[in-house]
């Protein structure tokens, strides 16, 4: 049974949104769990369509009230932002069974070994988001599990002009989607979908 969306103070639903970049062949990380392929796409020129795409992503991140990610995504951020402060100010859940380094920020390390535990954690995230969106950073298994439980509202993907041939899938499971928007922003094809609940 699908969860009823919680409402903000203004009556709009709190959305849980999987917003990520993917390769043309549907991978969010390569076979070494690296995102270097994404950063090899040329830096956008100011005022270009690519800069607009980057700006839209930054606006989305600024509107998020809570964040959730898997351990692999967290480890990649920690490794590649080494020496820098944690990049997100809002409460961030990291789903893991491993001991991971704490690098500052409002981090919550948790495991969700059952559907009910994931539902409970999601309810905590929605509460902490204080009427703003919950941003699912990755990975594909987490996003698919949230969708299966009726907890994921949208999937927003920026498709990079590169093929990886393997790696971590965008969605690790079957998820029915309905297209809401498609646009070209420079080198990226940006697609927004609503998750279809059964």
- Distance, in Å, from the CA atom of 197 to the CA atom of 47, rounded to the nearest integer, reads 38
**7 lies in a domain?**
no
**141 lies in a domain?**
yes
**38 lies in a domain?**
no
Total domains present in the chain: 1
Contact present, 155 and 15 (Cβ < 8 Å): no
Mean pLDDT for all residues in the chain = 88
**94 lies in a domain?**
yes
Residue 108 burial by Cβ neighbours in a 10 Å radius (0-12, 13-18, 19+):
middle
Mean pLDDT (whole number) for 118-129: 97
Q: What is the CATH number of the domain that holds 109?
A: 3.40.430.10
Q: CB-based contacts of 54: which residues, under 8 Å, 6+ apart? A: 44
How do residues 32-58 score in pLDDT, each as one tens digit? Answer: 988 888 888 766 566 665 556 567 778
Predicted confidence band of residue 184 (pLDDT cuts 50, 70, 90): confident
Q: Could you tell me the residue range of the domain that residue 54 belongs to? A: 16-28+43-195
For residue 1, what pLDDT is reported?
A: 43
Half-sphere exposure of residue 62, counting CA atoms within 13 Å on the CB side?
6
Higher pLDDT, 99 or 52: 99
């Amino acid at each position: 049974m699908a969860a009823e969306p919680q409402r903000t103070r203004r009556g709009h639903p709190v959305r849980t949104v999987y917003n990520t970049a993917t390769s043309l062949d549907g991978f969010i990380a390569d076979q070494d769990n690296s995102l270097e392929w994404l950063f090899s796409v040329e830096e956008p020129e100011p005022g270009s369509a690519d800069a607009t795409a980057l700006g839209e992503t930054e606006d989305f991140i600024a509107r998020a009230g809570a964040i959730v990610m898997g351990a692999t995504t967290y480890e990649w951020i920690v490794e590649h932002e080494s020496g820098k402060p944690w990049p997100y100010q809002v409460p961030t859940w990291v789903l893991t069974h491993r001991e991971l380094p704490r690098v500052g920020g409002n981090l919550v390390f948790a495991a969700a070994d059952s559907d009910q535990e994931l539902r409970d954690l999601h309810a905590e995230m929605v509460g902490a988001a204080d009427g703003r969106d919950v941003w699912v950073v990755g990975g594909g298994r987490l996003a698919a599990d949230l969708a299966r439980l009726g907890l994921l509202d949208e999937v927003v993907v920026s498709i990079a002009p590169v093929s990886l041939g393997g790696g971590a899938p965008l969605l690790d499971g079957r998820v029915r989607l309905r297209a809401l928007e498609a646009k070209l922003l420079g080198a990226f094809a940006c697609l927004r979908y609503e998750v279809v609940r059964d």
